[in-house]
Amino acid sequence: MNKEKARKTAERLVSKMTVYEKISQLLYTSPAIERLGIKEYNWWNEAAHGVARADTATVFPQAIGMAATFDPELIYEIGCAVSDEARAKYNQNVRFGDRGIYKGLTFWAPNINIFRDGRWGRGQETFGEDPYLTSKMGVSYVNGIQGDGEYLKAAACAKHFAVHSGPEYTRHTADAKASLKDMWETYLPAFEACVNAGAAGVMGAYNRTNGEPCCAHSYLMEEVLFGKWGFDGYFVSDCGAINDICAGHHFTETKAEAAALALKKGCNLNCGNTYEKLVDAYEEDLVTEDDITEAAVKLYTIRALLGEFEEKRPYSDIPYSNVNCEKHRELNLAAALSSAVLLKNESGFLPMRDKYGRIAVIGPNANSVRALEGNYNGRSPEYVTVAEGVRRVFKDSAISVATGSSLISTRGGDGEELLSGALAAASDADAVVLCLGLDSSVEGEEMNYEADGFFRGDRTTSYLPKPQIKLAEAVCDICDNVVVLVMCGSPADLGEKVNKAAKAVLHLWYPGALGGLAAAKLLHGDVSPSGRLPVTFYRGDAVLPDISDYSMENRTYAYSDTEPLYPFGYGLSYSDIEYKSARKVSEDEEKITLAVTLCNAGGYDVNEKIQIYAHFTDTRTATPKYRLCGVKTAFLPASCEKTVEAEADKKFIKAVLADGARVCPDGEITLYAGSCQPDGRSVALTGKAPLKVRYK
């Protein structure tokens, strides 16, 4: 069904409603209208990394882990699997008359905000700090979720529009001040890309941006989203954000005025209940029936595109057996394997193979299911923790398991009573797999929780909690062969002693239900690590801009002067990949195509993540140190040479002026192709410099 036909269906249905019935349809809990044969519909559903909050589903790696794959094609496959499961579950929900929350087909994902500050608790839900990578991953996920059939398989929603990335504790009152340059260079590109890709929805953020609430914004909504971009999908508020216009931002005096303002700016749907006050707003002539009708028509157009009003619903033949089916479990394992980033591997300590007869798996995340899940998650029928994964993979080794410490410092202490058991296990082991990190109880969306290193969902430092550092240092004193696995959704600094003493460090993010099996396979050497960092890792004692400062000055790899612990785009493998040559082969208005010749001189098959960066200068404006503008996954068998074509997106090889305009740089442009960015720290860590391709 095309959009024109869907809108006509919507107009026909809405025309039969009273004005008060129309208003009722603008809340996320849209009630049934029995006299018209319209069923109730709950718009709220989540799918950041799998169908969430509705019992059984495949739990894929958290979004930041998906970003670490640097593989948009893989993310598209995940999106397809998610929407398959969404339809399978929806078909049964309808069959049994369950139309409640988290049971519909309108998913409020992906989160394409920029992870500009590694301390932000919700950064784990994003695709990292780079606008190009976020755009590519966001579009792939949207396309996978929505499908390419006559009807939407499910409806994606890009959030949170716009200029939103913490801090969590002020999001209902804060004003994120951003220049037009920063908005158009960093904060808006992914939204524009998802709108151009046909995303069904856009969700507004809680905060104000440059003085106006994001769910009632003259510039962002009227001028940019609906004007310049021509967005014709639906706009939904974040949950409670319309109430914030009045109660948090004090932008209006009453809730009725807040509701009227948001509706007139283009917010069609209220997650919350403030739109109940549209009754008052209508009766006080703050809004017209035409305003209400247009919002209802937009919402019903989406419902029509999903096939809700068809005699035979589309995709009704997708069976419930698709949920967490074998195909999706295989994809989930592949995603977890691809997302892990090998940060350190001293003297080729990994892979471990079967060299160690006794292995101790130690740490608060050794047996943690919560550390596999992240947040905004479903529930898997099966979880494989690291301890269980090591047991399954290292079948000829004796495996011991110990917790060692609490996850964080609490009033009850640091878990000191657990330390001696862990040290006993470590002293008796030939090698230790040390499982550290966080989980969604301390890192995530707006919390009341405060502790050393944490503040209401956000972090105050990238150091891991002190109990874990203490455990790690003690274990490294006892055992020489220690590999650290970190599960968290953000950068992590293990401290100077452990950074130096650990033989290897593998960052797993929140790796999904099968993350422990993936970790064990990587440790054993069944697969070579291929993940890359989608966010810069700074040292725990680094002096960073205030988290509430939205200027991009001294932020991310593009503008920061702070030396990182590990740079954006960094990640090691078990093989030796040589970039032999790179040259331009073609060019059009949108892209530059490079032919890159690589040689796998090592003994392991690898999925090499080719990264293309641009360096350019312009006399009119500040330009990034480097800007990622292309990614390509190339499978290279051991001892194989291959030439691969990789595309650079010209949009990200342009300078952004103070007014937000993108222009061709008036200085030199140089492209780089390699396994990391061209900065000195990346080259020093990998020992390899990307190839330079002179462009202009």
Read off the amino acid at residue 264.
K
pLDDT the model gives residue 681: 87
pLDDT < 70 regions, the chain = 1, 696
Q: Quick one: 59 and 173 in the same domain?
A: yes
The angle subtended at Cα 468 by Cα 462 and Cα 469, nearest 5°, is 70
Query: Where is the domain boundary, 559, 593, 623?
Result: 559
Residue ranges making up the domain that contains 464: 325-559
* 8 A C-beta contact, residue 185 and residue 656: yes
Query: Does 584 lie in the same domain as 659?
Result: yes
Question: What does each C-alpha distance from 357 to 72, 122, 394 come to in angstroms?
Answer: 39, 40, 9
Eight-class DSSP state of 233: S
Token digits for 615?
A: 């360096």
Q: Say if strands 504-507 and 482-487 run parallel, antiparallel, or are unpaired.
A: parallel
User: Letter for the amino acid at 74?
Assistant: L
The reply to whether 337 and 272 lie within a common domain is no
Catalytic positions are: 238
Q: Check whether residue 399 and residue 459 sit in a common domain.
A: yes
CA distance 210 to 621: 21
| CA separation for the pair 686, 311 (Å, rounded) | 59
* Distance separating alpha carbons of residues 679 and 682, to the nearest angstrom: 6
pLDDT for 93: 96
Give residue 691's pLDDT. 93
Task: State residue 95's pLDDT score.
Answer: 95
CA trace torsion 632, 636, 640, 642 (10° rounding): -20
278: Cα separation from own chain's centroid: 34
Amino acid letter, residue 482:
V
Q: Which two tokens stand for residue 287?
A: 């809004």
Q: Are 566 and 505 in contact (CB under 8 A)?
A: no
> The CATH number of the domain where 171 resides is what?
3.20.20.300
Q: What is the pTM of this model?
A: 0.98
The SS3 assignment for 247 reads: helix
Tally Cβ neighbours within 10 Å of residue 685.
18
Does 522 map to a domain? yes
How far apart are the C-alpha atoms of 82 and 156, rounded to whole Å? 11
What is the domain-level CATH number for residue 618? 2.60.40.10
DSSP-based three-state secondary structure for 234 = strand
Residue 474 has phi, psi (to 5 degrees) of -65, -40
3-class DSSP state of 38: strand
Cis check for the bond before 241: say yes or no (omega within 30 of 0): no
Same domain flag for 81 and 203 = yes
Q: Are residues 262 and 356 in the same domain?
A: no
Residue 571, domain member (yes or no): no
CA–CA dist 617, 626 (Å, integer): 10
Let me know whether 104 and 216 are in one domain: yes
Q: Pick from 262, 293, 315: which residue ends a domain? A: 315
**Distance, CA of 49 to chain centre:** 8
Answer whether residue 500 is part of any domain. Answer: yes
Assess if residue 568 is contained within a domain. Answer: no
| SS3 state of residue 496 | helix
The type of residue at 319 is P
For 79, other C-beta atoms within 10 Å of its C-beta total: 29
- pLDDT score of 1: 67
Give residue for tokens 């004193």: 477
Candidates 511, 622, 494; CA nearest to 559 is 622
> How much is the pLDDT for 492?
98
Specify whether the CB–CB gap between 151 and 307 falls below 8 A.
Answer: yes
* Gap between the Cα atoms of 512 and 373, Å rounded: 5
Query: Is 478 found in the same domain as 627?
Result: no
* Residue where the block lists tokens 């690898």: 606
Residues 535 and 609 in one domain: no
Length, in residues, of the chain: 696
- Whether 363 is covered by a domain: the verdict is yes
Same domain, 391 and 523: yes
Question: How far does CA 609 lie from the centroid of its chain?
Answer: 18
- Coil, strand or helix: which one is 574? coil
Dihedral of alpha carbons 249, 252, 253, 258, sign: negative
Claim to verify: residue 409 and residue 335 sit in the same structural domain? yes
Segment (H or E) for 488: none
**End residue of a domain, out of 505, 532, 559:** 559
Is residue 386 within 8 A of residue 519, CB to CB? The reply is: yes
**Count of domains observed in the chain:** 3
CA distance linking residue 613 with residue 673, whole number of Å: 7
Q: C-alpha 261: how far from its chain's center? A: 31
Q: What is the pLDDT of residue 410?
A: 85
**Token pair 């800007």 is at which residue?**
627
Whether residue 569 is contained in a domain is answered as: no
**Would residue 567 count as lying in a domain?**
no
Spatial neighbors of 345 by CB under 8 A, at least 6 apart, are: 503, 504, 572, 574
Look up the CATH number of the domain holding residue 503: 3.40.50.1700
Query: Are 371 and 439 within 8 A, CB to CB?
Result: yes
- Would residue 564 count as lying in a domain? no
Q: Could you read off the pLDDT of 587-599 as tens digits, one per residue? A: 999 999 999 999 9
Residues 483 and 533 reside in one and the same domain:
yes
